[in-house]
Structure 1
Amino acid sequence: MPVQPFPAGNYRFIPAVFQYSSGAAADPGFEVERVRFDSLLPLAEGFAQAAAYIEAAGRPLTSFCACELRSPGAFTEDGFRAFNQHYVKTLAEWGIFDGTVNPVARSNVCPEIDPPAEPSFYAFSFTRPADSRPPSFVIAGGAELRGGSGSYPERIVRYRDPSPDALKEKVRFTVASMEERLAEFGYTWRDATAVQAYTVHDFHAHVADELVRRGAMRSGLTWHFARPPVVDLEFEMDCRRVARETVV
């Protein structure tokens, strides 16, 4: 689907599924600010702190455009659906989710070591007015999962194959999916200021060809030792262009 506007939040987004969009980009005259919590906050507390920060900045809650979550462990497909149905309730209360379309980009991963006891906030992003700023955006997390209506086992690249060759294919697919999302907004890796990868596997052997040579590491790479949110997914990425980042 083509990029759609979300005027109430002063951004546009790539439609995806009910729980999140594939990316959000600030409208002209606005920028994305990313706020990371110094410590993980349980979902309800994270939403409350995000609301307080956004309102203190003089912005409406509809300016909330992206979030980064951490969960205790990978969900089953049904468990992931149940979690998402709970998650979107707050977005509906904020006037963002209309019951069908969700403009908010999201990453939700599972730390392999010292995970939180419950789904928690790591960071969030929102739009605010800006003069003469370059474009800013957040591309949602994506893993080695093909599109379509089939089940996750049917759509996962090299399903349950942990071999080095399979990991290379998973990384290549995920990098390409990030490129497709960037292209929807008219951007490339050259526009990104930060790139993040999430996996518990050693993918160093594939970094040069699948990331560096394709331009994905122009600003380096942050590797989080974490799993994607659904059982049997092995590699996830997201990226962004954000000039203003804050830790609270």
Structure 2
Amino acid sequence: MTRDFAAGGYRYIPAVFQYSSGAAALADFEIERVRFDKLLPLAEGFARAAEYMKAANRPLTAFCACELRSPAVVDEAGFRRFNEHYVKTLAEWQIFDGTNNPVARTNVCLEVGPPKEPSFYAFSFTRPKKGATPSFVIAGGAEARGGSESYAERTVRYREVGPEAIRDKTKATVGSMEARLAAFGHGWSDTTAAQVYTIRDFHPAVTDELVNRGAARSGLTWHFARPPVIDLDFEMDCRRVSREVLV
């Protein structure tokens, strides 16, 4: 279910052309997460990431995950246009081969104070480390099931935002995170951070669908933001990294 990306020092869960469902360091590598103190426009963020990795004596192919912030939600066609633009840099870095994309990604839209253009919030890359403990980044996922159908057909409780609908969306998203963790042989007990992205009141679901399932073992970071595609309401990601830096 996973594939190795030896040039980057990590393996990944294949998904769609714009991103993978998660990246995990190979043996004797660890993942470092770098968060920008201020959002950086996409091109500038890629450039800063390249500079940072070069200074760490790492190739561009070590880039394994990113967290983006977009100006506003879009429809499916708009999402595809953005993704086709986004992967151009990954192709130039010899990461995306036109079909397979090993880079995990979260891309959400801030409800308050959004950037004027797609921007970087954070990125992750691999470093060599003998005997490193496992590290991974699980990509952002919302309440849409996998498949080739439209989002309207795949979304749990489509266009419903009542308490029970949000509970079902939360449950489905947590389940998706668990499946991705399991693909790497891990579970919630192995995570060091989990993030939630929604503008809906998900608190009634916190105890049963997050805390009791172990998703909040290291706390829970809530971002008042929407998933990037219109009519999606709840997104999550999670990770295990031993090194995090703010720049």
Shared fold (TM-score, shorter chain, > 0.5): yes
CA distance in 2, matches of 1:133, 1:10: 12
The share of aligned pairs that are identical, in percent, is 71
Q: Deviations over 1:136-181 (max 9, x none)?
A: 0000000000111111111110000011000000000000000000
**192-201 vs 144-153, which moves further:** 144-153
What is the match of residue 101 of structure 2?
Answer: 102
Q: Distance in 2 between matches of 1:71 and 1:111?
A: 7
TM-score between both structures, scaled by the size of structure 2: 0.99
1:62 and 2:61 are equivalent in the alignment: yes
How far apart, in 1, do the equivalents of 2:121 and 2:185 lie?
A: 28
Aligned with 2:7: secondary structure? helix
Distance (Å, rounded) in 1 between the aligned partners of 2:14 and 2:132: 25
Q: What is the identity, as a one-letter code, of the residue corresponding to 1:74?
A: V
SS of equivalent residue, structure 1 residue 176: helix
Structure 1 residue ranges without an equivalent (≥5): none
Amino acid at match of 1:47: F
Q: Which amino acid aligns with 2:84?
A: Q
* Cα shift readout 1:62-107 (whole Å, capped 9, x = no counterpart): 0000000000001110000000000000000000000000000000
Contact 2:194 2:237 in 1 (8 A): yes
AA partner of residue 74 (structure 2): F
Aligned residue type for 2:229: V
Give the 4+ runs in structure 1 shifted more than 3 A.
none
* Whole-Å separation in 2 of the counterparts to 1:168 and 1:27: 35
- Secondary structure at 1:54 match in 2: helix
Task: Report the Cα offset of residue 133 of structure 1.
Answer: 2.3
Secondary structure class of the residue paired with 1:201? coil
Instruction: Give 2:19's aligned residue.
Output: 20
**1:88 corresponds to:** 87
Q: What secondary structure does 2:45 align onto?
A: helix
Per-residue CA deviation, residues 204-232 of structure 1 (Å, 9 max, x unaligned), is 11100000100111000000000000000
Distance in 2, Cα, partners of 1:162 & 1:23:
28
Equivalent in the alignment of 1:41: 40
Q: CA deviation at 1:131?
A: 2.8
Amino acid at match of 2:223: H
Q: Give the secondary structure class of the aligned counterpart of 1:25.
A: strand
Q: CA RMSD in A?
A: 0.5
Higher mean C-alpha displacement, 125-134 vs 232-241: 125-134
TM-score by length of 1: 0.99
2:115 matched to which residue of 1?
Answer: 116
Q: Which residue of 2 aligns with 1:237?
A: 236
Q: Is the counterpart of residue 152 in structure 1 residue 160 in structure 2?
A: no
Question: Can you give the 5+ residue segments of structure 2 that lack an aligned partner in the other structure?
Answer: none
- 2:49 corresponds to which letter in structure 1? A
- 2:244 maps to a residue whose letter is E
What SS does the aligned partner of 2:79 have? helix
Report deviation, 1:132.
Answer: 2.8
